[in-house]
Structure 1
């Protein structure tokens, strides 16, 4: 079997997404779709995907519409919103994985935004496991004081001003992350600066959520040192998904011989020792 990562085209509602499939080696354990974090290109996840594929888990990564390899027009021309990424694009990637891997268990791994779509999707019966890391129902006041100046600049000062002027969120120029479509930024801002988070968009750009989904194991995870989506916000999300039997897990870096896990870095190459435990594999942590 050719184990070279394969480029995959994913048809989504109103968009064409660029994906990459990492075929499993050896005995196939499961097939996993990885929904990425906001502003994080799929290439960032190549180390995790290669690690999982070597353990019998096929992995599909992809970029959301009008971002990364899925950007097919100038970003200022994009009409994408945050809900497009969390609902339409995630659903399309899940359907594509089911086509690529028509047999065996299906797993879902959502990183930050990638985990927020859980209650808005239906899942095939063979979906065995859903894991999120750094996905939470947050508010800007949840952040520790050390991180709050950056948050305030992003949501209330440089971020909105630059987005209004440029026609997109110029995160690279502002040293505040990746460039993002304006609609993605504005809706994301609304969720993170209002106490009802995304509830105001339910029935508008979001379907009715199902927090009592049945079937798959649901694991809601976070790093203890995550300041971007702190444990308190992730705990709220786990509590909302309690009817689905969601299990909350907070990871301490030192337990794995690591100095940090943080938010985005949780799935960076250097943090491989925690990944088996994150997915709940039947191997020792750090294996």
Structure 2
């Protein structure tokens, strides 16, 4: 009986299948040793598989939180079938997949307050999620903002110019998907995701260009819980000024701001992706504080 009681109080991990409007998403549920303080869904960045967030999710369970990571449809562990046949877009990932993941977490961990931690794309889509957003008790966005090509520092502009106007569109048109691996840019992405991502980041007003088409009108009242907006000082992909514009999407929420500066944590760099790397775990308490 003693061994059984010990086993029952250990943190656990288990796969979780998520039904998302005709798609099946692969998720992973992390449970703490005891009743969770809150249940947290991690909405990942574009092109970042859920496995990257595993060290952060495991740390959250040690801090007493339940946590769900997952991959968007036709990406990562949720990929199925030829990628060039995918109909996925960024709007579908945000409008359908993110609420489905939240609902799956709510069903798996009933009664716990639900938080959303959104990394990059993961923090942009809540105003389009209606009731799902209204059920949240807290939102933390990290390196998330309606960025435009003009926001990038001069040294980074050649990289984004090639991605949006050079090799990126040319390779996507030829292959029928973004061949991220071949281009040295990370995982492959559905063409619809790339083209919409490109349009949003090269058009003033970001995703407003798709409101009335792929997106409904944003709901200013959808998020009324506390929202913590986290920027990274050395993020060249979504610099702090673009991150601060995100707060305009949450007019009814009580908002707070935090800038992660590498030197404050004894680090040389953090960047757009780095804060969730286990090497930069020193930033994690500040993110969820």
Matched, 1:218 2:223: no
1:196 counterpart residue number: 205
Q: Which residue is equivalent to 2:141?
A: 132
Question: Does the 8 Å contact 1:213/1:244 carry over to 2?
Answer: no
Bigger drift between 120-129 and 56-65 goes to 120-129
CA deviation after TM superposition for structure 1 residue 188, in Å = 0.5
Q: Where does residue 250 of structure 2 map in the other structure?
A: 241
Match of 2:41 in 1: 33
With 170-179 and 152-161 compared, the bigger mean Cα shift is at 170-179
**SS of structure 1 residue aligned to 2:252:** helix
More helix by share: 2
Who is 2:50 aligned against? 42
Structure 1 pair 38–260 and aligned structure 2 pair: CA distance change class (3 A): same
TM-score between the two structures when normalised by the length of structure 1: 0.94
Instruction: Name the CA distance, whole Å, in 2 between partners of 1:156 and 1:133.
Output: 27
Structure 1 counterpart of 2:3: none
Separation in 2, partners of 1:132, 1:52: 16
Task: Report the CA distance between 1:148 and its aligned residue.
Answer: 1.0
Within 2, Cα distance between the matches of 1:90 and 1:219? Answer: 19
Deviation at 1:86, TM superposition (A): 1.2
Contact 1:169 1:185 (C-alpha < 8 Å) held by counterparts: yes
SS in 2 for 1:205: coil
Choose from 47, 59, 74 the match for 1:66. Answer: 74
Aligned match of 1:14: 22
Give per-residue Cα distances to partners, 1:229-276, cap 9 Å, x unaligned.
111110111233243222222111111222222111111101111111
Distance 1:175 1:22, change over 3 A: same
Aligned equivalents of 2:259, 2:221: Cα separation in 1: 22
The number of aligned residues is 280
Structure 2 gap ranges (5+): 1-7
Q: For 2:185, which of 149, 152, 176 is the aligned residue?
A: 176
The alignment partner of 2:204 has SS state of: coil
Question: CA shift at 1:124, angstroms?
Answer: 6.9
Q: CA RMSD in A?
A: 1.4
Q: Distance in 1 between matches of 2:128 and 2:211?
A: 10
Q: Does 1:112 align with 2:120?
A: yes
2:287 is aligned to 278
Would you say the 8 A contact 2:11–2:33 is kept in 1? yes
- 8 A Cα contact 1:238 1:248, kept in partner: no
User: Is the CA contact 1:26–1:55 (under 8 Å) kept in the aligned structure 2?
Assistant: no
Whole-angstrom CA distance in 1 between matches of 2:96 and 2:133: 16
Structure-2 change in CA distance of 1:124 and 1:199 (3 Å): closer
Secondary structure, counterpart of 2:185 in structure 1: coil
How far off is 1:125 after superposition?
Answer: 6.3
Q: Normalized against structure 2, the TM-score is what?
A: 0.93
Give unpaired runs (5+ residues) of structure 1. Answer: 281-287
CA-to-aligned-CA distance 1:17-49 (integer Å, 9 cap, x gap) = 000001112452111000000000000000000
Shifted more, 158-167 versus 125-134: the winner is 125-134
Deviations 1:33-77, CA, capped at 9 Å, x for gaps: 000000000000000000000111010000000000000111111
